[in-house]
């Protein structure tokens, strides 16, 4: 959203607070709320390494000091096709997820020292704080489910733990059915569980809300992760974190990553491609340069050749870590399971997906002037992306295509992890959770503000970026007492605001121009509701 539009919305929200005469809320416990279980995505749970000989427990994800070394030593693993489990290279170590604070500690703030200050490690924290403000209580109506995200989304141990968690949450809340709020790959885990154990799911779950779930995969993100690894932070913070190469070696042995590849049977609007500028020589030594494009089904041969000589050194030995065909077979079975999942009739499903962020979709290596002759060089090259709309990680097209019976699907402008602390998401959740009431609510002197619509579009044309926004609220309170004559003459109150900015900040700089105009309409109260509309547009141009 353009900066000026953001300022306008914040100003209107402050105005709404004045209109509603709503005092600052204090935390309280609402005994009427149904329990909520938060389920994170990949890399979204704290992991501890436990020494089987001494019992010593050491935090290995996320940690700061010695992060990369301990990650390679304690978290690197190999896939066992006989069991479907990813097993530590260190045979004397196993991975556990801490269960403190009813499972919330492991998914709250992943950075133990808050050195990084990035949303990749500042995870469910804001949502947990917000839920507590609404009246949720840890251990009674608010819980978390962290898990070993290296494993498959249908890994039996994880599925069994989730079944036990649902039962314990149901019991702790006094027999109330649960709302699951999943993020990212947590949506695939939830969907797998629902497919495998629909009876248990129906017994304990009332509502499932998926946020930023890669239902049809995250093609660009996963392709470059296989070939180049992934960095969770940028800039100077990388010095405290896991290197891209170390992460790549882990991901190549993780079934969960293979399960995030592009779905082959999905009808993509734009087929995700792996493109390579190739140089080939004929028998006479004549070189030709062509751009080769591979759809998802044909990328496997490229991955296998590109990673055929990939090795890691561990405990004095070289270990081959190629593209793992056994994991691919396992992941294909998982995708079949996901495609057959159905929401039980008594359960409500909602889908929130991110929009307005450039999201990798197709990946390209090399160029016409710097072609590639040896595919084994791909892991050393930087990928270039063709972007689509999404949350920066998951294409909107993938996140929307849940294949389920949904009560609602809502797109919210936001990044893949940042969306978890987005104020629009909080409004939506509060409404769906029926937490937008207060047991001490007094309609005589208090009001409740509910969002009822949100829509934003952005268009670039001829050097201009035009962003339009429509947002609506309902202020619920006691009907205003008026005479019949006044009621027939009531008209909406209409106000407008315009703001402008010139220059990029320095004196005399006119390179950036931006204007925003907004109209606010406050409709007369009717049936205890006062409807408020905001229509705004911003136009920005760079010289």
Residues noted as catalytic: 184, 391, 416
Structure token pair of residue 148: 């070993």
E-assigned strand segments in 92-226: 93-96, 142-144, 178-183, 205-211
For residues 341 and 331, what is the distance between their CA atoms, to the nearest angstrom? 16
HSE toward the beta carbon, residue 533, CA cutoff 13 A: 9
Q: Contact 349/211 with Cβ under 8 angstroms?
A: no
Q: Contact 27/492 with Cβ under 8 angstroms?
A: no
Q: Strands of 448-461's sheet, edge to edge? A: 448-461, 464-476, 529-542, 512-522, 493-502
- DSSP class per residue in 423-471: HHHHHHHHHHTT----TT--TTT--EEEEEEEEEEEEEETTEEEEEEEE
For residues 486 and 482, what is the distance between their CA atoms, to the nearest angstrom? 6
Paired sense of beta strands 512-522 and 408-413, if any: unpaired
For residues 114 and 117, what is the distance between their CA atoms, to the nearest angstrom? 6
CA end-to-end distance (rounded Å), the chain: 20
Nearest Cα to Cα of residue 366 among 300, 293, 261, 308:
293
The residues with which 109 forms a beta bridge, in sequence order, are 122
- DSSP class per residue in 375-424: GGGGGGSPPEEEEEEEBSSSBHHHHH---S--SEEEEEE--TTGGGG-HH
How many Cβ atoms from other residues are within 10 Å of residue 462's Cβ?
Answer: 5
- For 131, 227, 492, the CA distances from 326, given in Å and listed in that order, are 42, 18, 65
For residues 161 and 163, what is the distance between their CA atoms, to the nearest angstrom? 5
Q: What does the radius of gyration of the chain's CA atoms come to, in whole angstroms? A: 26
The number of helix segments (H) and strand segments (E) in the chain equals: 14, 22
Q: Contact 262/272 with Cβ under 8 angstroms?
A: yes
């Amino acid at each position: 959203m353009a900066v000026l539009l953001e300022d306008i919305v914040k100003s209107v929200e402050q105005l709404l607070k004045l209109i509603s005469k709503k005092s600052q809320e204090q935390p309280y416990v609402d005994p009427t709320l149904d329990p909520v279980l938060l389920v994170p995505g990949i890399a979204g749970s704290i992991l501890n390494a436990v020494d089987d000989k001494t019992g010593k427990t050491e935090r290995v994800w996320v940690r700061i000091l010695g992060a990369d070394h301990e990650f390679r030593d304690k978290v690197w693993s190999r896939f066992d096709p006989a069991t479907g489990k990813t097993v530590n290279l260190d045979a004397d170590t196993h991975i556990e997820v801490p269960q403190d604070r009813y499972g919330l500690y492991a998914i709250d703030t992943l950075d133990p020292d808050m050195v990084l200050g990035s949303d990749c490690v500042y995870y469910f924290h804001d949502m947990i704080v917000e839920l507590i403000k609404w009246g949720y209580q840890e251990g009674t109506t608010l819980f978390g489910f962290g898990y070993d995200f290296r494993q498959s989304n249908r890994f039996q141990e994880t599925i069994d733990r989730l079944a036990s968690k649902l039962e314990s949450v149901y019991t702790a809340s006094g027999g109330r059915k649960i709302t699951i709020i999943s993020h990212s790959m947590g949506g695939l885990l939830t969907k797998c569980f629902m497919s495998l154990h629909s009876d248990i799911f129906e017994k304990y779950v009332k509502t499932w809300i998926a946020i930023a779930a890669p239902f049809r995969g995250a093609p660009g993100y996963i392709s470059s992760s296989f070939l180049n690894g992934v960095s969770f932070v940028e800039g100077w913070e990388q010095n405290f974190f896991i290197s891209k190469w170390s992460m790549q070696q882990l991901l190549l042995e993780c079934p969960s990553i293979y399960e995030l590849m592009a779905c082959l049977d999905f009808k993509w609007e734009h087929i995700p491609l792996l493109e390579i500028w190739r140089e080939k020589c004929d028998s006479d030594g004549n070189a030709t340069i062509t751009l080769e494009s591979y759809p998802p089904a044909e990328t496997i041969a490229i991955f296998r050749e590109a990673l055929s000589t990939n090795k890691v050194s561990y405990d004095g030995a070289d270990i081959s870590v190629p593209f793992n065909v056994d994991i691919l077979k396992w992941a294909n079975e998982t995708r079949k399971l996901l495609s057959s999942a159905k929401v039980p009739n008594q359960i409500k499903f909602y889908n929130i997906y991110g929009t307005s962020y450039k999201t990798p979709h197709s990946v390209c290596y090399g160029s016409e002037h710097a072609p590639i002759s040896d595919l084994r060089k791909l892991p050393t090259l930087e990928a270039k992306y063709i972007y689509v709309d999404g949350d920066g990680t998951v294409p909107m097209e993938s996140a929307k295509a849940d294949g389920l019976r949904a009560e609602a699907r809502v797109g919210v402008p936001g990044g893949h992890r940042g969306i978890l602390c987005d104020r629009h998401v909080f409004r939506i959740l509060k409404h769906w959770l029926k937490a937008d009431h207060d047991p001490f609510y007094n309609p005589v002197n208090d009001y409740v503000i509910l969002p009822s619509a949100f829509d934003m579009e952005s268009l670039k044309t001829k050097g201009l970026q035009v962003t339009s926004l429509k947002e609506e609220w309902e202020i619920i309170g006691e009907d205003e007492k008026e005479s019949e004559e006044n009621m027939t003459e009531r008209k909406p109150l209409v106000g407008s605001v315009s703001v402008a900015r010139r220059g990029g900040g320095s004196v005399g700089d006119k390179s950036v121009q931006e204007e925003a105009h907004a109209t606010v309409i406050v409709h007369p109260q009717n049936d205890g509701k006062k409807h408020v509309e905001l229509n705004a547009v911003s136009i920005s141009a760079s010289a």
